[in-house]
Amino acid sequence: MAEHILVLAEQLEGQLTDVTLELIGVARRLAASRGSGVDALVLGDGVSSLAATVPADRTLLMEHPALRLFNPEAAQRALEAVARETSPWLVLVPNTSLGMDVAAAVATRLGWPLVAYCQAIEERDGQLVATSQLFGGKILADCPVGTDHAVLSVLAGAFSSEAAAPEPPARIERLTPPAELDALRVRATGLERPEAADVDITRAEKIVAVGRGIESKDNLELAEELAEGLGAVVAASRPLVDAGWLPRSRQVGKSGLKVKPRLYLALGISGAPEHLEGMRDAELIIAVNKDPKAPIFDVAHYGVVADLFDVAEALQERLGG
């Protein structure tokens, strides 16, 4: 039975993403305990210099014009072909916008089980257990991973990227792309980066962040006044941005921005895993939420179970508003 681990490395325009290093780190820990190795699959076009920086035991490099920008179909075909060929014990894929297109499709086509949204992968009583974060982060599911093949899709930020010490890869192997890459039904036509914003929340020292608990666009004024009194900027969870109440540049989280302010005051934000991904490293997190079980309290330093409007008004009074 093969015991090595295959990691799908994620890169965008020649830049490895942090989550890739996190995955390689956890894969190396798991492989070391079994005396096996870690393969990293790098997909791209003209990325051989990048391949040399990947801290795996063996870097599998596949280059093809269809892999220049991320193409979900190309990535899926490539990973599937490599998994069939090398028959790894585990395949680790980042649970990102790119990885989500690939993990479930490849697992389904191979007929291998998939555990998605993994936040922990640990040996417990001689058995490997992958823990998945479900129901908006309110419930965890422990899933036994046997000695058979499995695909795990792993949350960004769940593991330290330092574990993947930048040791040069022992070997780089160039792979021939599967023939399917010449007959794809999906084309990547462009990549667009956001325009510069009026306020850069990633540089803000203090943030007042509001979520769906704020209820209406008109109530944003309260958050703005409070932010002004505190010398902070206003940021938000995704639903407020989707509703058009605030610009995309104010969104904190997985698909938004990662922030690390000295103060993050969260009002009416539940703390879904996708939101926590963007703010869990803030120096001081104070959360106000009327649900005592809200997952935001798992990362907050101080919590208040209350109506956000009552607390915001009381703060505002003291700030002389």
Partner 1 sequence: MTLAVILKQVPDVVEELAIAPSGTDLDRDSVSYVVNEFDEHALEEALLLREATGEDVVVVGVDTTGELDQALYTALAKGAQRAVKLVGDFEGSWLSTRALAGLLAPVIRELSPRLVLTGVQAPDDLDGQLAPTLGALLDWPHTGVVVGTELADGVVRVRKELWGGIMLDLELATPAVLGIQAARATPRYVPVGRVRQAMRESTIEEVEVETPVESAPKLSRLRAPEAAGRAEMLTGSPSDVAERILEILRARGLY
Contact present, 151 and 188 (Cβ < 8 Å): no
Smallest separation (angstroms) from ligand FAD to the CB of 47 = 25
Phi, psi of 267 (to 5 degrees): -115, 115
- Tell me whether residue 103 or residue 209 sits nearer to partner 1 (CB atom): 103
Residue choice 22, 39, 57, 101 for contact with partner 1 (CB under 8 A): 101
Residue choice 37, 55, 213, 303 for contact with ligand FAD (CB under 6 A): 213
Q: Which amino acid is at 275?
A: H
User: Could you tell me which residues come within 8 angstroms of residue 90 by beta carbon, excluding any fewer than 6 positions away?
Assistant: 5, 6, 27, 30, 145, 149, 150, 151, 152
Residue choice 50, 163, 172, 188 for contact with partner 1 (CB under 8 A): 188
Residue closest to 224 by CA, chosen among 211, 213, 235, 215:
235
Residue choice 3, 136, 260, 281 for contact with partner 1 (CB under 8 A): 136
Smallest separation (angstroms) from ligand FAD to the CB of 138 = 10
Q: Which does 34 bind (CB under 5 to 8 A by kind): ligand FAD, partner 1, none?
A: none
Q: Does 50 bind partner 1 (CB under 8 A)?
A: no
Contact present, 76 and 41 (Cβ < 8 Å): no
Q: Does 98 bind partner 1 (CB under 8 A)?
A: yes
Within 267-296, which residues bind partner 1 (CB under 8 A)?
A: 270, 284, 286-287, 291, 293, 295
Q: Give the H/E segment covering residue 116.
A: strand 114-124
Q: Does 57 bind partner 1 (CB under 8 A)?
A: no
Neighbours of 65 (CB within 10 A): 13
Contact present, 307 and 317 (Cβ < 8 Å): no
Q: Does 303 bind ligand FAD (CB under 6 A)?
A: no
Stretch that binds ligand FAD, among 47-55, 187-195, 224-232, 251-259 (CB under 6 A): 251-259
Smallest separation (angstroms) from ligand FAD to the CB of 110 = 24
Q: Does 199 bind partner 1 (CB under 8 A)?
A: no
> Which residue, chain included where needed, has tokens 């015991």?
3
Residue choice 274, 280, 300, 315 for contact with ligand FAD (CB under 6 A): 274
Burial of 32 (0-12, 13-18, 19+ CB in 10 A): exposed
Residue choice 135, 148, 168, 173 for contact with partner 1 (CB under 8 A): 135
**Structure tokens, 243:** 């509703």
Stretch that binds partner 1, among 35-43, 58-66, 159-167, 243-251 (CB under 8 A): 243-251
Residue closest to 171 by CA, chosen among 39, 79, 46, 20:
39
Stretch that binds partner 1, among 32-40, 83-91, 92-100, 158-166 (CB under 8 A): 92-100
